[in-house]
Structure 1
Amino acid sequence: MSRYKGSDFLRSVTLLVGGTAVAQLLMVLLLPVLTRLYSPQDFSTLSVYLGLLSIFSVVATLRFELAIPLPADNEDAANILALGLVCSAVTALLVALVLYLCSAELANWLGAPELSRYFWILPIGILLSGAYSSFQFWMGRRQNFRAVAKTKMQQAFFAGAVQLTYGWFSGGALGLILGQTINNGAGAMGLVWQSLRSDARLLSSIRPARMKQMFGAYSRFPKYSTLEALCNNASIQIPVIMIAGLAIGPEAGFLLLAMQIMQAPVSLIGSAVSQVYISKAPEKLREGQLPGFTQDTLKGIVQLGVLPLVIGGVCSPYLFSFIFGESWERTGEIVVYMIPWIAMQLLASPVSMVLHTTNNQPLAMGLQLFGVVVRVGAVAIASVIAPLQLTEIYAATGFLFYFVYLLVVLKVAGVAPSAFFGRNRIILLSVLVIYLAQFMFMLIGPVV
């Protein structure tokens, strides 16, 4: 990323990373307290709720938020923003209706009967997530990354306050679930307020007729990107829900904590780079600079994300019992299995936006369908032939999926895989040696 030193790209990424870093640091610092206030079973219940929330939230807007950066006219973009908000409200209402009719049956089918008492929160969470995602892309278009960074910190503060307070005085999964919902709410309200202050004139241009026109102009997003996003989240969340129902003990709770720790680099670096990448990629494509831009972006991710991820991850078996409590030792082992998966995700996810920039939504959808088949299918088969290794197999399929995804994205961006791996060979070989050494030691010798 040295080519962009002093550029708007690097400043924007740094600003978003800074805001996200403060938020992630706060949540990580709170986790050792939360694991002592809440049980692994509470986290297991949370994992099922978050799985459902993630699956519905990512399709609530029909993916119109991805189209917000694309029009040349800001008023067109404002009407696309309105489309995303309306679709989110309709999705939340439909989910609320279904839950009103059969919440108990659904909770029993998911293997989490206690969740039926908390289902009333799910439609609220879907609406807030859709609103936050839409306004986040709107702020990216308006180059107001400072507002997005600020909401990241607001989210972490309010979510942590609710979870700590509820856990201290009452306990139970409801505190964790409410915290996650307020997390999205604080961010959405902050971006709405900022948008009304700075972009009131543009937002006043929203009209039903123009929204209909934008729906037709960008119909490829609901046609292709919605199913793509649904498959992407389903490939991640459905196996977690299956593990919660099939595994012995609170395995899904251990897995959720591992995912929260390991997804921090993806949120910290990947999400920030992704948001800025998609805001700059259309211009780079028009100028014929997309391959070099993608190469430099990936090199920065390797240096700033993959190397620290692997070094920190291999230490987890030695640290988790001390940091989170003796009952969470299993989480440290899961983290080691997840390192290849998260490293590939950290590389592929930010630059995967090139598929939308180049109008390759059908290809993106096909990739995500592949992910669902591989990841859900592998866990389903493992539940029969290797029921004690569900989590390990789930982690392995994550690596396989994102490795294939990265190769496809490189091809679309015009980057030769050999050029990418050759340019980063020293760091990639170093992290491979570090990881394999720890992995083999964990398999053949006890962790002390």
Structure 2
Amino acid sequence: MKHLLVKINNKLNAQGGFLRAVSVLVGGTAFAQGLTIVALPFVTRLYSPAEFSIFAVYASILGIFTVASCLRFEIAIPIPSEDKEAAILVVLALISNFTISIVISFIIWLFHTEIITLLKQPSLSQIIWLIPLGVFFSGIYTALQYWATRKKNFTIIARTRIVQSVSGIATQILFGIFGGAAWGLVLGQIIKISAGIGKLAKNFWNEANTIIKSITFVQLYTIFKKNDQFPKYSTFDSLANSAGVQLPIIIIATLAVGSEVGYLMIAMQVMAVPIQLIGGAVSQVYLAHAPAAVQEKTITHYTINILENLFKYGVSSLIFIGLVSPILAKYVFGQEWEKVGLIISWMIPWFGFQLIASPISMIMHIVGRQKQMLLLTLSGFILRIGMLYGQFYLNPSYLLEAYAISGGIFYGICYMVFSNAAGLKIQDHILLIKKVVFFIIIAIILGILTASVLRMFEL
């Protein structure tokens, strides 16, 4: 045992302790997400679905703007070989973020009445002024985090994520206890976004203050021109991707009667956990090995092995959750949140396909199919918006179900496109189904039995 521990410790400390730092980062992220989920049953008992609906609209608008607030200069920060160019990119990202935040503030001031009328959310009238603040803090954190990533300061990032989660949840619970309404949820989100900025800023200043003091306008312009492909192309791509997820939520809020989008937000937070933890980890593993597998022409076999494990341990777990959630939701989140369980059930095909499609999506970048990827993203955006409005004119009572189905169709198409890019044929899919069908059946049986037992106790 001692020999094993020494071996593990040596492995973690290899390459300057890089693996240990990455382990800390993953652990910090997992802790932060876990804490958010544990706190949800308390938060949902302090806030109503209507208040969460207002918060969902705010968070969705924020999500669209934040991906572009730094004009994507932040993703260029780890790339340059010299720290000076990277530090200038941080400054460019911060300047862009400040400018975009001011522009958003001006637009809200100029078209405040029209925006509120368009959103059909009178309760958002005052809260909407906090959107520029949220964009501003989010952009600062993102830019400084990429600098820390460049310098491999993963421990600092992990600590800030934990601080973010704790401070954000504490704020929401505190305001909820004292009847803070939707303001409590929004302010908690802003506190969560801004927490950790001080530590990252201090770290950046300590490592780059000499460079920062010597930066000239000529240098800023030179680096801007050198990296102008990021604001030109990456900004549009990220906006399209973010809007495909966030805009339907805003549309549902404007079209639906009641607190539908509040239920949707809680359901999406629950389902995002396995996607981020399992899917995120597998994505990193796949990206690390797939390029070599493509060169060695073993990418198809490698992809099948990845998909097999995702089906066995990921999709089967989601199926179980989908079968028991309609009964458990009201006990976990509170009586008025019972509909969350039904929405989760509708979302199982969506998140099931997303879980197996997202990790292998890296193959599109490896084999140079970025244009096809962008076309797929835009097609998914059109599909989701089209199905929402189509359902609205047919029967507006089932908007959430239509959104969930559209997600399942989109990620189902993504799965077929990505697996095709990895070289999978029809016979490979058949073989894959044979390998995982036992696990799927067991998950279904366990889900049905568990749901039956829970219903017996209800009676």
What TM-score, normalized by structure 2, do the two folds share?
A: 0.82
Change in Cα spacing, 1:157 to 1:31, as seen in structure 2 (3 Å) is: same
Q: Are positions 1:121 and 2:130 aligned together?
A: yes
- Pick one of 267, 274, 280 that aligns with 1:265: 274
Deviations 1:362-398 (A, max 9, x none): 4433222112101111101110113222111111211
- Size of the aligned set, in residue pairs, is 441
Structure 1 Cα separation of the partners of residues 281 and 213 of structure 2: 29
User: Which segment drifts farther, 287-296 or 34-43?
Assistant: 287-296
- 2:46 is matched with 37
Deviations 1:328-382 (A, max 9, x none): 0100010111122223333444554565677755443322211210111110111
What is the 5 A alignment of 1:309-388? 309-350=318-359, 352=361, 361-388=370-397
Where structure 1 has 5 or more consecutive residues not aligned to the other structure, the ranges are none
Change in Cα spacing, 1:48 to 1:411, as seen in structure 2 (3 Å) is: same
Change in Cα spacing, 1:327 to 1:417, as seen in structure 2 (3 Å) is: farther
Query: Aligned-residue CA RMSD in angstroms?
Result: 3.8
Structure 1 Cα separation of the partners of residues 423 and 76 of structure 2: 24
- 2:190 is matched with 181
What is the 5 A alignment of 1:20-419? 20-200=29-209, 207-271=216-280, 291=299, 295=303, 305-350=314-359, 352=361, 361-410=370-419, 414=422, 416=424
Kept in 2: contact 1:79–1:207 (CA 8 A): no
Deviations 1:292-348 (A, max 9, x none): 998487677667654544433432122111111111010001011112222333344
Change in Cα spacing, 1:316 to 1:77, as seen in structure 2 (3 Å) is: same
Kept in 2: contact 1:340–1:399 (CA 8 A): yes
SS in structure 2 at match of 1:179? helix
Structure 2 Cα separation of the partners of residues 359 and 256 of structure 1: 35
Structure 1 Cα separation of the partners of residues 438 and 224 of structure 2: 48
Change in Cα spacing, 1:298 to 1:286, as seen in structure 2 (3 Å) is: closer
**Higher relative CO (CA 8 A, sep ≥ 6), structure 1 or 2?**
1
Q: Are positions 1:19 and 2:28 aligned together?
A: yes
SS in structure 2 at match of 1:119? helix
SS in structure 2 at match of 1:60? coil
Kept in 1: contact 2:69–2:97 (CA 8 A): yes
Paired letter, 2:352 = A
Kept in 2: contact 1:78–1:206 (CA 8 A): no
SS in structure 2 at match of 1:130? helix
Paired letter, 2:98 = A
CA shift for structure 1 position 252: 0.8
Change in Cα spacing, 1:437 to 1:293, as seen in structure 2 (3 Å) is: closer
User: Which segment drifts farther, 152-161 or 285-294?
Assistant: 285-294
Paired letter, 1:403 = G
Kept in 1: contact 2:70–2:93 (CA 8 A): yes
Deviations 1:389-437 (A, max 9, x none): 211111121122223334444566x564779858965775356546767
Kept in 2: contact 1:382–1:390 (CA 8 A): yes
SS in structure 1 at match of 2:257? coil
User: Which segment drifts farther, 40-49 or 300-309?
Assistant: 300-309
Percent identity over paired residues: 36
Structure 2 Cα separation of the partners of residues 189 and 422 of structure 1: 53
Where structure 2 has 5 or more consecutive residues not aligned to the other structure, the ranges are 1-10
- Pick one of 429, 432, 437 that aligns with 1:429: 437
Kept in 1: contact 2:320–2:446 (CA 8 A): no
Paired letter, 2:150 = R
CA shift for structure 1 position 174: 0.5
Paired letter, 2:121 = A
Deviations 1:89-142 (A, max 9, x none): 111111000111222321121011110111121001111222222233333332
User: Which segment drifts farther, 8-17 or 220-229?
Assistant: 8-17
